[in-house]
C-alpha cells in the first residue's frame, strides 16, 4: 500500500520523495510501536515521521498525545497514514491541524501548504494575521533582504525548531511575501527568498500585529530589556518622552528573572516605575541596538490614536530603506 502512496506522491508532488522504514526505533516506547508502523518520509526536502496506523484508529486526543511524545523524541514533523478514513475523522484531523495522507490520494500537509482532495491541486491556507513565530520570521527577512535560505538553515539562524521554521516560512509563502526555487546541494531543497522592497513592507504590515502581550509595572529595569514604546519613539523622533521609562522583554526571559510587579495603582501613579511590555517574542532576537526594532515598534504603537504619535512613527519609518508610503 505504501508503494502506491509513494508512486502517487512522486507523480503529483515530488519526484524525489522517499519512504523507508524508520532506522532507530529503540528510542520509541513499546506502546507506540504496537499502534503504528514507523517510516521516514522525505518530501520536498522536509523529513517527516510517517505513522501507519495498524489496527483501531486512536482518538484525536490520543493522537495529539502521541504527536507530542514523538516530536519530543525526534524533533520532526509527524504525518499519519490512513488506508481509508471516514468523513468525520478527516474533518476532525483538519480542524486540529493534524497532518495526514490517505491511500486514495487525499492529504493534508499544512507545513508544506498542501491540501489535496483526490486531485493534485494546491489550496493555500489563508493568513489573516501573523503568529508570533511567523512575525519573527517576517522581521528577519525584512532586515536581511538578500537572504536565500532553506527550512533547516533558517531554523538555525533564528533559533526555531525545524517544524516551527517550516510553518513560519509556509505562512509567509502563502501570504505571497516569499518565493522559492527548488535547488540547494541536493537539488531538492526549497530555497526561500523574500519579495522586493517596498512590496514586502507594504504587504507585511497588513498581517503584522502588536507583539505586546501585556503591560506591567516594576521598580527596576530588567537585565536585557530593550527601550520600547513611546520611550523608544522619543529616542528616534522629535516626540516628547513619556514620564517613565518603557522597556520590552519576552515572557520567557521574564519568567527566569526575580522581579516584583507593582499592582497598587496609587504607587504606579505616584512613583516613576518602569513600564514593562511583555512580548510574544524576544526583542533582542532581531536587533543589536538598545531599543526594539523599528517594525516591531510600529506594530506596538500603530493602534494609537494620537496624531503626534502617528506622525512620529511615519517619520521613523521613512528613514528605512524598505519603507515607501
pLDDT tens digit string along 58-97? 888 889 999 999 888 888 899 999 888 888 888 889 989 9
Question: What is the pLDDT at residue 126?
Answer: 60
Q: Residue 165 is part of which domain span?
A: 132-204
Same domain, 68 and 164: no
Torsions phi, psi for 179 (to 5 deg):
-120, 165
Where residue 196 sits, what CATH number does that domain have? Answer: 1.10.10.10
In a domain, 123, yes or no: no
Closest by Cα among 182, 183, 282, 270 to 224: 282
pLDDT computed for residue 81 by the predictor: 92
In a domain, 324, yes or no: no
Q: Which of 183, 204, 225 is the last residue of a domain?
A: 204
Query: Rounded mean pLDDT of the chain?
Result: 87
For the stretch 122-156, pLDDT in tens is 334 566 789 999 999 999 999 999 999 999 899 99
What is the per-residue pLDDT for 186?
A: 63
Write out pLDDT tens, residues 253-268: 988 887 878 877 667 6
Quick check: 55 pLDDT over 80? no
pLDDT surpassing 60 at residue 120? no
Same domain, 176 and 217: no
Q: Are residues 176 and 251 in the same domain?
A: no
pLDDT score for 122: 38
> Is residue 94 a contact partner of residue 110, using CB atoms and an 8 Å limit?
no
Which ranges of the chain does DSSP label H, i.e. alpha helix?
A: 2-12, 30-35, 60-74, 87-95, 132-143, 151-158, 162-174, 199-204, 229-236, 251-255, 265-270, 294-301, 307-317
Of 57, 83, 116, the residue at which a domain comes to its end is 116
In the chain, pLDDT over 90 holds for what percent of residues?
Answer: 49
Tally of structural domains, the chain:
3
**Is residue 13 domain-shared with residue 101, that is, in the same domain?**
yes
One domain for residues 51 and 68? yes
195 and 268 assigned to the same domain = no
Q: Is residue 72 part of a domain?
A: yes
More confident residue, 108 or 184: 108
- Verify that 221 and 179 share a domain, yes or no: no
Residue 102 belongs to domain with CATH number = 3.40.1350
Amino acid at each position: 500500500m505504501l508503494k502506491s502512496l509513494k508512486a502517487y506522491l512522486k507523480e503529483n508532488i515530488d519526484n524525489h520523495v522517499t519512504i523507508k522504514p524508520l532506522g532507530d526505533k529503540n528510542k520509541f516506547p513499546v506502546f507506540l510501536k504496537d499502534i503504528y508502523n514507523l517510516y521516514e518520509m522525505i518530501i520536498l526536502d522536509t523529513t517527516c515521521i510517517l505513522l501507519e496506523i495498524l489496527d483501531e484508529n486512536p482518538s484525536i486526543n490520543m493522537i495529539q498525545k502521541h504527536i507530542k511524545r514523538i516530536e519530543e523524541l525526534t524533533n520532526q514533523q509527524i504525518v499519519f497514514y490512513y488506508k481509508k478514513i471516514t468523513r468525520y475523522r478527516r474533518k476532525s484531523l483538519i480542524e486540529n491541524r493534524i497532518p495526514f495522507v490517505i491511500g486514495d490520494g487525499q492529504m493534508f500537509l499544512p507545513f508544506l501548504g498542501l491540501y489535496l482532495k483526490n486531485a493534485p491541486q494546491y489550496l493555500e491556507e489563508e493568513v489573516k494575521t501573523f503568529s508570533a513565530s511567523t512575525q519573527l520570521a517576517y522581521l528577519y527577512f525584512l532586515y536581511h533582504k538578500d537572504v536565500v535560505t532553506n527550512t533547516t538553515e533558517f531554523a538555525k539562524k533564528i533559533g526555531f525548531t525545524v517544524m516551527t521554521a517550516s510553518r513560519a516560512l509556509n505562512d509567509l509563502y502563502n501570504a505571497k511575501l516569499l518565493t522559492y526555487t527548488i535547488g540547494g546541494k541536493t537539488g531538492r531543497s526549497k530555497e526561500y527568498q523574500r519579495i522586493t522592497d517596498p512590496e514586502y513592507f507594504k504587504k507585511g504590515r497588513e498581517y503584522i500585529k502588536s507583539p505586546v502581550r501585556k503591560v506591567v509595572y516594576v521598580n527596576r529595569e530588567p537585565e536585557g530589556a530593550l527601550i520600547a514604546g513611546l520611550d523608544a519613539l522619543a529616542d528616534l523622533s522629535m516626540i516628547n518622552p513619556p514620564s517613565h521609562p518603557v522597556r520590552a522583554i519576552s515572557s520567557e526571559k521574564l519568567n527566569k528573572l526575580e522581579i516584583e510587579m507593582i499592582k497598587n495603582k496609587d504607587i504606579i501613579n505616584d512613583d516613576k516605575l518602569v513600564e514593562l511590555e511583555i512580548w510574544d517574542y524576544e526583542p533582542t532576537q532581531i536587533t543589536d541596538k538598545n531599543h526594539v526594532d523599528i517594525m516591531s515598534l510600529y506594530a506596538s504603537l500603530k493602534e494609537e490614536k494620537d496624531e503626534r504619535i502617528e506622525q512620529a512613527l511615519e517619520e521613523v519609518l521613512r528613514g528605512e530603506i524598505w519603507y515607501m508610503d
